[in-house]
Amino acid sequence: MALKEFVGQLPDLEIERAIRHTMDLYAHSMDYGEEAVWRDCFTDDALFLVNDAQKDYEEIYRVQGSERLAAYIAAYPRPPAVHAKHVCSQVLIRVDGGTARAESFWVAVNSTGGPQGGAPNIMAFGRYRDTLVACPDGRWRFSERICETESANWPEPGTYTDRENFAGAS
Q: Where are the beta strands (DSSP E) in the chain?
A: 42-52, 58-64, 84-96, 99-111, 120-134, 140-152
Q: Which of 39-43, 76-80, 162-166 has the least mean pLDDT?
A: 162-166
54 pLDDT above the threshold of 90: no
3 pLDDT above the threshold of 80: no
89 pLDDT above the threshold of 50: yes
For the stretch 111-127, pLDDT in tens is 866 667 678 888 899 99
At CA 44, angle to CA 39 and CA 50, rounded to 5? 65
More confident residue, 119 or 15: 15
Query: Average pLDDT, whole number, for the chain?
Result: 87
Residue 167: per-residue pLDDT: 46
For the stretch 16-28, pLDDT in tens is 999 999 999 999 9
Confidence band, pLDDT 50/70/90 cuts, at residue 9: confident
More confident residue, 52 or 40: 40
What are residue 63's phi and psi, to 5 degrees? -130, 120
Residue 79: per-residue pLDDT: 84
Residue 90: per-residue pLDDT: 96
Domain ranges of the chain: 3-165
Contacts of 36 (CB under 8 A, 6+ apart): none
Q: Which CATH class is domain 3-165?
A: alpha beta
